[in-house]
Structures are given as C-alpha cells and as structure tokens.
C-alpha cells in the first residue's frame, strides 16, 4: 500500500486513480503527524453490501412496489 500526503495526492490525482484501477491501494495522510485520513481502494476489494433489515418489523412486515407505480419528485420530497 502506498502512503501519500494530501498535497502529493492532489498533484498526481489522475495517476493515482490509474494505479487504483490496476489494483493498488493508497492511504492518504494529513498534517504534521501524517495521520492516515482515508484509503482509496479498488472497487473489486470493497465488501459486498449486506441487505438492510426492516428494523423492528423484520419478519413481520414487507412492501411491494407495482410496476406501474408513478410518483413525481415533488410528491416524493414534500
């Protein structure tokens, strides 16, 4: 894994993305102590998202969205 400061990362952003595409992971550091703030890892190394449970109603309720269901953005966000 490569470690680099925010400044170095900004200066070589496109090149770093190409390296990540090739499978390399990059740790981005910040400050005098160069503490790691973030990791840039290849998409194929990401864990698969797990299904979200329905919380308190898990196993007791469900929902169905029909194919012809329509709603405008205004209706959704009002």
Task: Residue 16: name the closest of 38, 31, 32, 33 by CA.
Answer: 38
Q: Classify 48 as helix, strand or coil.
A: coil
Burial class (CB in 10 A: 0-12, 13-18, 19+), 41: middle
Give the least confident one: 9-18, 23-32, 45-54, 60-69: 45-54
Total residue count of the chain as it appears in this document: 78
What pLDDT is stored for residue 3 in this prediction?
95
Q: Which CATH class is domain 1-44?
A: alpha beta
**Structure-token pair, residue 72:** 């405008």
Average pLDDT, the chain: 88
Tens digits of residue pLDDT in 5-36: 999 999 999 999 999 999 999 999 999 999 99
Instruction: Provide the residue ranges of all domains of the chain, joining segments of one domain with +.
Output: 1-44
If pLDDT is split at 50, 70 and 90, which confidence band does 54 have? Answer: low
């Amino acid at each position: 894994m490569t470690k680099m400061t925010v400044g170095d990362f900004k200066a070589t952003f496109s090149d770093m993305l190409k390296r990540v595409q090739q499978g390399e992971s990059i740790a981005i550091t910040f400050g005098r102590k160069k503490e790691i703030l973030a990791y840039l890892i290849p998409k194929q190394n990401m864990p698969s998202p797990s299904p979200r449970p329905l919380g308190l109603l898990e196993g007791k309720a469900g929902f169905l969205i029909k194919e012809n269901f329509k709603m405008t953005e205004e209706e959704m966000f009002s």
